A and B are shown apart, each in its own frame.
Chain A
Amino acid sequence: MSWINLSAIWKIVVFGLLAGAGLPAIFAMGLYSLSRGPRVQTAGGGDSDGLVGGSVVGMAVAALCFLVVLAAIGWGIYEVYQIGHPAPAK
């Protein structure tokens, strides 16, 4: 019996970074894409809190980003459920 389960820690770090930092980063990319377009506000150019820049491509990319984030969350929760409810042992 080992005291430290290194493979578990390793997994928590890697998946933690992917889910905990990677997904918010994709969400941020979505926000960035959403803000592109004719109504674009550049940093320092006023304090408008309008999120939508108006570019069609930007909005499509943003929608894709947000979908990826939602799908990843759904899949993650499903996995946790699967692991947490093992089939009863015989």
Chain B
Amino acid sequence: MSNTFVLVLVVITALGFDFTNGFHDTANAMATSIATKALSPRLAVGISGVLNLVGAFLSLAVAATIASGLVDTKLVTLTVVAAGLAGGITWNLLTWLFGIPSSSSHALIGGVIGATLAAAGGHAVLWHGLVSKVVLPAVFSPIIAALVAATGTYLLYRISRSLTDGARGHGFRIGQIGSACLVSLAHGTNDAQKTMGVITLALIVNKSVPADSKAPFWVILSCGLAISIGTYLGGWRVIRTLGKGLVEIEAPQGMAAESASAAVILLSSSFGYSLSTTHVATGSIIGTGLGKRGAEVRWNVAGRMATAWVFTLPSAALVGAGAYALAHVIGGTTGVVIDLVILVAVATVIYLRSRANKVDHNNVNDEWTGSAAPAEPEPAAA
């Protein structure tokens, strides 16, 4: 059965995406804890990985949005899902190479939408679902997170102003560890869900499960595992940008930022909004810079991120559409296989390029010099 073969390929690719998702997003939970040295880098990514797995089981609302709320499942084929995944992974890896905390969710959704557009045209996309559950949350969530984080930062410094710097740092580092753990948990409830949604979509398309079904247990478990392994391996480049590049962070700010992120992500997950944990974490970190007098926000770094955010949906959509076109021209199972072979090749090239100026747990906290990789000039060419 070639269909089963393609389905297996799609599931493997989806889990691969989930892995890059964890890898890319470790930063959202742990960047500030690593930057303030509340946790050692290794321990931080380990805890985060475990909690992502737990979070994957906590809520299934977002998986439902992705599986049946964005595209018309009757018009989508397995080839479309595979092409969409190729788009999402490619964009995720490229932004990781440049240390830009862009949204894995938007990369995935963009890829799937692009492939659907190429395959079946505009009527196969549920635009209302896309705008109300993906695009608008993307605009609102960083603003809400920034507001919450700024308020929290102000309160924390106000309440703790009679403490010595040492005592304050000590106390809030403990609080920060707790709040960072909650962000990891929240990340599992939102991001692990997205891959579950895509695999469920593939199963629905293949008629392996009914159209309105929830993610089966093996899907939840494998997605949780993939994202937690990715998280454990840690995207040190992005951790560096978020923890050191945007704002210089003290422990109370780290706690405020992470509490804000955790609260906003968990609340939104409950409503089934597939928001970007990346956007929320970035909003929170900027907010915490705004909430403390004299703190400096590096707006040029923030601007670079925002640009990447705007481009994420359309770029991933383009790659997704291209991948579909290629698979369609070649046709059948061979087309899908060739798509995925190209994807692996691209991933390998990006990985090799990243070795040239490595960021890992040893140099992740080096002084910020304006680029993702420390003590190196800007990468010569894109």
**Which residues of chain A from 28 to 51 have a CB within 8 Å of any chain B CB?**
28-29, 31-32, 34-35, 41-51
Task: Determine the distance from Cα of A48 to Cα of B270 in the docked complex, in whole angstroms.
Answer: 43
* B171: interface (CB < 8 Å): yes
Contact B271 A32 (CB under 8 A): no
Residues of B within 8 A of A50 (CB): 166-167
Q: Is there contact, CB below 8 Å, between A16 and B167?
A: no
Q: Given that A15-B263, A16-B264 are contacting pairs, would A25 and B136 also be in contact in the complex, using a CB cutoff of 8 Å?
A: no
Contact: B140 with A9, CB < 8 Å?
A: yes
> Helix, strand, loop or mixed for chain B's interface?
helix
B277 at the interface (CB under 8 A from A): no
Give the contact-size bracket for chain A.
Answer: 35 or more
A12 engages B264 (CB within 8 Å): yes
Residue numbers in B under 8 Å from A31 (CB-CB): 159-160, 163, 167-168, 171-172, 175
**Chain A contact residues, CB within 8 Å of chain B:** 1-5, 8-9, 11-13, 15-17, 19-21, 23-25, 27-29, 31-32, 34-35, 41-51, 73, 76-77, 79-81, 83-85
B residues engaging A (CB < 8 A)?
58-61, 128, 131-132, 136, 140, 144-145, 147-149, 151-152, 155-156, 159-172, 175, 178-179, 182, 185, 189, 252, 255-256, 259-264, 266-271, 273
20 contacts between A and B (CB under 8 A): A1-B128, A3-B128, A3-B132, A3-B136, A11-B267, A16-B267, A21-B152, A21-B256, A24-B152, A24-B179, A28-B160, A28-B252, A32-B159, A35-B162, A43-B164, A49-B169, A50-B166, A76-B266, A83-B61, A84-B61
